[in-house]
Amino acid sequence: MKFVDEAFIDIAAGDGGNGCVSFRHEKYKEFGGPNGGDGGRGGHVFAVADPNLNTLVDYRYSRRHEAKRGEHGMGSDMFGAAGTDITLKMPVGTIITDAETGEVLYELLTPGEVITIAKGGDGGFGNMRFKSAINRAPRQKTPGWPGEKKNLKLELKVLADVGLLGMPNAGKSTFITAVSNARPKIADYPFTTLHPNLGVVRVGPEQSFVVADIPGLIEGASEGAGLGHQFLRHLQRTRLLLHIVDLAPFDDAVDPVAQAKAIVNELKKYDQQLYNKPRWLVLNKLDMVPADEREARVKDFVKRFKWKGPVFEISALTREGCEPLIHAIFRHVQSEQRTENEPVEVDPRFAGDAPA
């Protein structure tokens, strides 16, 4: 299935049905009185977060979505039926914004979450609503109210705990294959990853975290080089970034330090908050470095890169060093979750009940 993480749609809730003007006509009842019913409300448009979806491709080619209008009121005190609602299934992590103003309207963050994105119009009143002691034969009615109509932009940001950064062929896909259930395409040429991949890493019984692999970045991605940097949006909800570096490039003219600095610069250009996220350095492909040269090469890289954060040395192909890394990641993710769930400390002076 083609991965699509952005789409524009037009939605229209149903209009309300019109009220009815009618009078009761029965034998021996010359003045039966009004009996025109109200119109039915228009159908609503709902959005539901479906955990079985991971792309917005359905909305790339189907842009218009309309709910049914309510039926008109009828005589004999009969109200019109409500219009049929429609439900749009979207992936978890979808952000719904107003396409004209850019205002964020809704976010679907919980599987099964249902929100109303357009309300149907209320039905109009029939003439029986206007009956009174001084107006026994009203001929008034009201039309149904129009339903909401919106032009929306859908943007998918995948929900993951850990995001992978790196140049094409740095070994990100091999790493996510080694530690999780994901099976992305792996080949010996650049840009084999063309869309984000998610993998669940099992650390123990009921202990896991989610890793997101995005297409590789190159220098100038912010200007459109390579596949651009739009896929970085999928890392904005992560708790940790793993910067994976190929420590043994095939071309001797390629400097891993220069490549790593280019990735950091592209990250900073895209989003300062993403740049400020916790980031660990993962030096990959140690199996291709002679054992007696590994320590010196790692020290040289860290020194020239001027890196002061955590450093992990692995080989994603042979899985050497992967086990300690995933346990360290799990501990970090758990600590971040505990921090988010900690109760907010309240000043004792304001600890009492709030005034009504």
* Complete DSSP assignment for 83-129: PPPEEEEEETTEEEEETTT--EEEEE-STT-EEEEEPPPPPPPPGGG
What pLDDT, on the 0 to 100 scale, is given for residue 340? 55
On the 0-12 / 13-18 / 19+ scale of CB atoms within 10 A, 36 is: buried
Instruction: Label residue 335 exposed, middle or buried (CB < 10 Å: 0-12, 13-18, 19+).
Output: exposed
120 is annotated as contributing to ligand binding: no
Kindly state whether residues 67 and 187 are assigned to the same domain: no
Q: Are residues 204 and 335 in the same domain?
A: yes
Is 164 annotated as ligand-binding?
no
Whether 316 has a binding-site annotation, put simply, is: yes
CB atoms within 10 A of CB 347: 6
Is 194 annotated to bind a ligand? Reply is: yes
Residue 62 assigned ligand-binding role: no
Same-domain status, 138 and 202: no
The answer to whether 216 is annotated as binding is: yes
Buried b / exposed e over 199-225, threshold 16 CB at 10 Å, is: bebebeeeebbbbbbbbbbbbebbeee
Q: Is 216 within the bounds of a domain?
A: yes
| 265 in the same domain as 208 | yes
**Domain containing 84: what range?**
6-156
- What are the backbone angles phi and psi of residue 198, rounded to the nearest 5°? -110, 140
Q: Cα separation of 312 and 255, whole Å? A: 19
User: Does residue 164 sit in helix, strand or coil?
Assistant: strand
Same structural domain, 108 and 167 = no
pLDDT of residue 183: 65
103 shares a domain with 242 = no
Quickly tell me which residue has 């919980």 as its tokens: 110
325 is an annotated ligand-binding site residue: no
Indicate whether 152 belongs to any domain: yes
167 labelled as ligand-binding? yes
Mutual orientation of helices 256-270 and 291-305 as an angle, nearest 10°? Answer: 40
Structure tokens at 322: 């992967």
Domain total for the chain? 2
Specify whether 30 is located in the same domain as 134: yes
The pLDDT score that the predictor gives to residue 339 is 61
What pLDDT is attached to residue 184?
53
| Domain annotation covers residue 354 | no
Q: Which residues of 153-168 are buried (b: 16+ CB within 10 A; e: fewer)?
A: bbbbbbbbbbbbbbbb
Question: Would residue 347 count as lying in a domain?
Answer: no
Rounded Cα distance, 16 and 123, in Å? 4
Is residue 24 domain-resident?
yes
Domain CATH code at residue 253: 3.40.50.300
- Is 180 annotated as ligand-binding? no
**111 known member of a binding site:** no
Residue 58 lies in a domain: yes
Residues in the chain: 356
pLDDT at 195: 60
193 is an annotated ligand-binding site residue = yes
Task: Please report, for the domain that includes residue 43, its CATH number.
Answer: 2.70.210.12
Do 240 and 108 fall within a single domain? Answer: no
Check the annotation: does 115 bind a ligand: no
Residue 234 marked as a ligand binder? no
| 67 phi/psi in degrees, rounded to 5 | -90, 160
Q: 52: which 2 tokens? A: 């079985």
C-alpha dist (Å) from residue 129 to 28, 233, 295: 24, 53, 86
In a domain, 293, yes or no: yes
| Whole-number pLDDT of residue 334 | 83
Can you give the C-alpha Rg of the chain in angstroms? 30
Domain boundary among 141, 156, 171: 156
157 is in an annotated binding site: no
78 shares its domain with 178: no
Residue 206 and residue 137 share a domain: no
Name, in order, each residue with C-beta under 8 angstroms of 96's C-beta and a sequence gap of 6 or more: 47, 104, 105, 106, 107, 108, 117, 152, 153, 154
Claim to verify: residue 112 and residue 65 sit in the same structural domain: yes
Q: What is the pLDDT of residue 230?
A: 64
pLDDT at position 52 is 81
238 is known to lie in a ligand binding site = no
The response to whether 173 counts as a known ligand-binding position is: yes
Angle at 52 between CA 51 and CA 55, to 5 degrees: 95
Report which residue type is found at 289: V
Q: Is 285 annotated as a binding residue?
A: yes
Task: Per-residue pLDDT tens, the chain, 356 aa: give them.
Answer: 445 678 899 999 999 999 999 998 877 777 778 999 999 999 999 999 988 887 788 888 889 999 999 999 998 889 999 999 999 999 888 999 999 898 999 999 888 899 999 999 999 999 999 998 888 889 999 999 999 999 999 988 777 788 888 888 778 888 888 888 766 555 454 445 556 777 788 887 777 788 878 776 655 544 544 444 566 777 777 888 888 888 887 777 788 888 888 888 888 888 888 888 888 998 988 888 888 888 888 898 889 988 888 888 888 888 888 889 989 988 888 887 666 555 444 444 334 443 33
195 among the known binding-site residues? yes
* Residue whose C-alpha is closest to residue 143's, from 83, 80, 72, 79: 72
Q: Consult the annotation and say whether 309 binds a ligand.
A: no
Residue ending a domain, choose from 135, 156, 177: 156
Task: Tell me if residue 162 falls in helix, strand or coil.
Answer: strand
Domain membership of residue 350 (yes or no) is no
End residue of a domain, out of 107, 132, 156: 156
Q: Residue 269: what pLDDT?
A: 82
Regarding whether 199 and 136 lie in a shared domain, the answer is no
Is position 351 annotated in a ligand binding site? no
